[in-house]
Structure 1
Amino acid sequence: MKKTILFALTIALTITLTIVLISSRKKEKKSFNIDQNLEYCVAQANKTLAVLPDSLGIPRNVAPGSKDWNLVGYKDWTSGFWPGILWYLYEYTGDEVWKEKADKYTRFLTPLSVRSATDHDLGFQVYCSFGNGYRLTKNQEFKDVILKTSDTLATLYNPKVGTILSWPEMVKKMNWPHNTIIDNMINLEMLFEASKNGGNKSLYDMAVKHAETTMKNQFRKDYSVYHVVVYDTVTGKKIKAVTHQGYGDETMWARGQGWAIYGYTMVYRETKDPKFLDFAHKVTKIYLDRLPKDLIPYWDFDAPNIPNAPRDASAAALVASGLIELSTYTKDAALAKTYLDKAEAMLEELSSKRYQSANINSSFLLHSTGHYPNKSEIDYSIIYADYYYIEALLRLKKLKEGKDLFAPLSTNKFISLKKDN
């Protein structure tokens, strides 16, 4: 009898241990593999390099059903994202080949530093390219371009209004005397960087004032953002607010909210002013509260045809990157964990077969939406989605390894630093 009971207990224990082991293995399989997805980015970028022409056309987007990148010149507002991706690939791999390619495409944008400002996008163009290049190599030529371009961007600043003019062409075209779009928050990073590296202190003051004015005028009571605010150039007062790229003026355009989350997190980093951190939390909360279960937003949270509306992977990648940084400034441990868990879940979904391009084309991600009301880049692969995706992966990797989000991933990989100094 005792042998029977002992045998039964042994069998039960074996079954229990087997179940625990299987369950453990399942959990291991489900854990998000950051390096695997960074290696995926390396492979996809190699495919893109193999088909790019020698004329230095810059990848912007791939249409649904196509394998071919639509290419743009250095003046296009998205021109800085491809060289920025190449710098991130160099940071991850430490491979000099990626550095050479990044340097090549970055220098292609040099004319931006010596021409007059045609719009606010100089920060996107120059900081994503030269900014990342300078962060990794400390090349003084890159620093000079950042300083020159920051001075150029500063010419669009209106001290009466307290913001940088976004679209000069809209002054006459739309009768928007001084217009500022939420995207402009991202360009402030270049001004902050310039002010720390030999630029005039006025660049710092300008960036702070822009953030304050935008915070005051560009948000609804629930902290959702308007795309554009139009100001009177004489009085500096707000004339109206519209959502140019959203479904309607009072709807929440997904990428616009993403620019706000990322932008105010960055402004807090540069200023350490608690009001900007508090605001970053507020603009993040409404975004997270309204997300669908899979955490990838529809192009506009109020689009009338949800759940059949297009998604915007670019907004998801942008927010994931911003949330990872925001989690590091959040004193509330539970909230910080929520931010980090959400960011990792967003990246996990973006890294699934539903969103990775894989063999469909050589971009990183599918299903981004550019300008839906203009019927432009709907359900496309878009270069800035790829940029923020790889940035978010690298930030997550650094955070998991206890490293500074903005320092080179591994100083051992950057032997060439001394050569560039």
Structure 2
Amino acid sequence: METNMKHYLLALSIGAATLAGCQSPKEPNLVASNFTFAEQQLKYAFPKIDEARANEAQESRDKRIARQWGELTNPRNTEPDGSLRLVPSKDWTSGFFPGELWYVYEYTHDSFWKEKAEKHTEMLEREKKNGTTHDMGFKMYCSYGNGYRLTGNPTYKDILIESARTLITRFKPNVGCIRSWDHHADQWECPVIIDNMLNLELLFWASRETNDSTFYNIAVSHARTTMKNHFRDDFSTYHVVNYDTITGSPICKVTHQGYSDDSAWARGQAWALYGYTLCYRETGLPEFLEQAKHIERYIFTHPNLPEDLIPYWDFNAPEIPNEPRDASAATCIASALYELSTYVPEQKDLYKQEADRILENLTANYRTQQNGDNGFLLLHSTGSKPHDSEIDVPIVYADYYFLEALLRKNKLEKGEKL
């Protein structure tokens, strides 16, 4: 009852804030102003990328070559010393920057952005055969997937289908899931992380394009197994479930990037909300819609969710309110909410208002300096605080989901299909 009342009061406060904002005739269009900002920032980023590539330390270059990681491709984050970090194509974040470029092209229809998107996408082709990672969706669908959606390039389609075929080689039938990590084999038998839910979108797409139900069945199996084993009774999620590959039973449920094994890592909640929303879109199965609704309620009734709706990096971090925020969790949540609002008529206004408020607060208080911050769009993301990595810095996937959320807002308000 208490959490329901909090949800109701939050809805009232969001509605009042939204109405107040709508009454200001001078308020700039949130979507248009942010895409203008994004265009300027991304144009600033290109020479910074060239500079970072040219100035790569010899030690880093030697390591990359020795491990056959390929050339440096796209930005990942700003380092604590202010330098720009680029990553080779194998890095799980390599597809987000080209995805941003495709989103700017989608909004502007300017061929300049199409050419830039093609260049930064095609750096990743070698990953279509990389079966050592579960992150094929993040890398290939955010880049090639958006590119194919917007251009119909048949080469992109072929690359995506091969990428999907590579991804399903990691499926473990006895478990019912796609294995996430191969590293730390001494610790994990078959680790599955909540992040993996977003890689399922590539498989659903491949099933439609090839008429091969194998992709669909694996995606649904993974989603159902994750729903069964990753969630607590309150619909918070574990980060990692380690499975016995013979019995298919969970061995342990732990965290890797969250505060503790029993805590709710904020980006994990975002991955879960987004993942089950897309699974409902692709399958129409009510169980996935109900799961997404439960996860939304967990997030927005949590007593540690800040007033501006930008989560701390973990909902149970011990030093709240003196903990880093995670803008990347917020942007992913906002993007998911816009889509979820189209599936739940009785909650569509609330979900959209929550997403609107996130974008408004990010715009007002979390944007980077124009022509600064290496061309990133948002400050205050947290990659992995337990590993002292990417704490309170700009990170590329926050920007990607920020632009995606803005596009979805724009389409919703124009009555267009997402």
Which of 298, 304, 317 in structure 2 is aligned with 1:286?
Answer: 298
Counterpart in 2 of 1:342?
354
1:381 aligns with 2:394: yes
Counterpart in 1 of 2:94?
79
1:62 aligns with 2:78: yes
Aligned length: 377
| 1:347-381 deviations in Å (ceiling 9; x for gaps) | 01111144444344120000000011000000010
Offset of residue 31 of structure 1: 6.8
Distance in 1 (alpha carbons) for counterparts of 2:112 and 2:372: 25
Counterpart in 2 of 1:242?
254
Contact in 1 for aligned 2:40/2:371 (Cα 8 Å): no
> Which of the pair has more CA radius of gyration?
1
Contact in 2 for aligned 1:56/1:105 (Cα 8 Å): no
Contact in 1 for aligned 2:366/2:378 (Cα 8 Å): no
Distance in 2 (alpha carbons) for counterparts of 1:109 and 1:24: 42
Distance in 1 (alpha carbons) for counterparts of 2:145 and 2:264: 30
| 1:238-263 deviations in Å (ceiling 9; x for gaps) | 11111211100111100000000000
Contact in 2 for aligned 1:357/1:366 (Cα 8 Å): no
Offset of residue 168 of structure 1: 1.3
One-letter amino acid of the structure 1 residue matched with residue 410 of structure 2? K
Contact in 1 for aligned 2:76/2:85 (Cα 8 Å): yes
Distance in 1 (alpha carbons) for counterparts of 2:202 and 2:211: 11
1:40 aligns with 2:52: no
SS of equivalent residue, structure 1 residue 155:
helix
Distance in 1 (alpha carbons) for counterparts of 2:340 and 2:207: 23
One-letter amino acid of the structure 2 residue matched with residue 312 of structure 1? D
Counterpart in 1 of 2:58?
none
How is 1:119-268 mapped onto 2 (pairs within 5 angstroms)? Answer: 119-170=133-184, 172-174=185-187, 176-198=188-210, 200-268=212-280
Offset of residue 25 of structure 1: 9.1
Gaps of 5+ in 1: 1-22, 406-421
| 1:106-157 deviations in Å (ceiling 9; x for gaps) | 1110011133x11211110000000000100111111101110111110100
Which of 259, 281, 285 in structure 2 is aligned with 1:269?
Answer: 281
TM-score, length-scaled by structure 2? 0.87
Which of 322, 325, 338 in structure 2 is aligned with 1:324?
Answer: 338
Identity of matched residues, %: 50
Offset of residue 216 of structure 1: 0.3
| 1:17-74 deviations in Å (ceiling 9; x for gaps) | xxxxxx99962345752111111111111100132227763111013462x4211111
Counterpart in 2 of 1:408?
none
Counterpart in 2 of 1:415?
none
TM-score, length-scaled by structure 1? 0.87
Counterpart in 1 of 2:63?
none
Counterpart in 2 of 1:414?
none
Which of 390, 409, 419 in structure 1 is aligned with 2:403?
Answer: 390
Gaps of 5+ in 2: 1-19, 54-70
Which of 113, 116, 135 in structure 2 is aligned with 1:101?
Answer: 116
Change (3 A) 1:182 1:93: same
| 1:323-364 deviations in Å (ceiling 9; x for gaps) | 0000011121xx211100010000011111444443441200
Which of 299, 313, 319 in structure 2 is aligned with 1:299?
Answer: 313
| 1:250-302 deviations in Å (ceiling 9; x for gaps) | 11100000000000000000001111101100011101112211100000011
SS of equivalent residue, structure 2 residue 210:
coil
Distance in 1 (alpha carbons) for counterparts of 2:215 and 2:97: 26
One-letter amino acid of the structure 2 residue matched with residue 202 of structure 1? T
Contact in 1 for aligned 2:99/2:143 (Cα 8 Å): yes
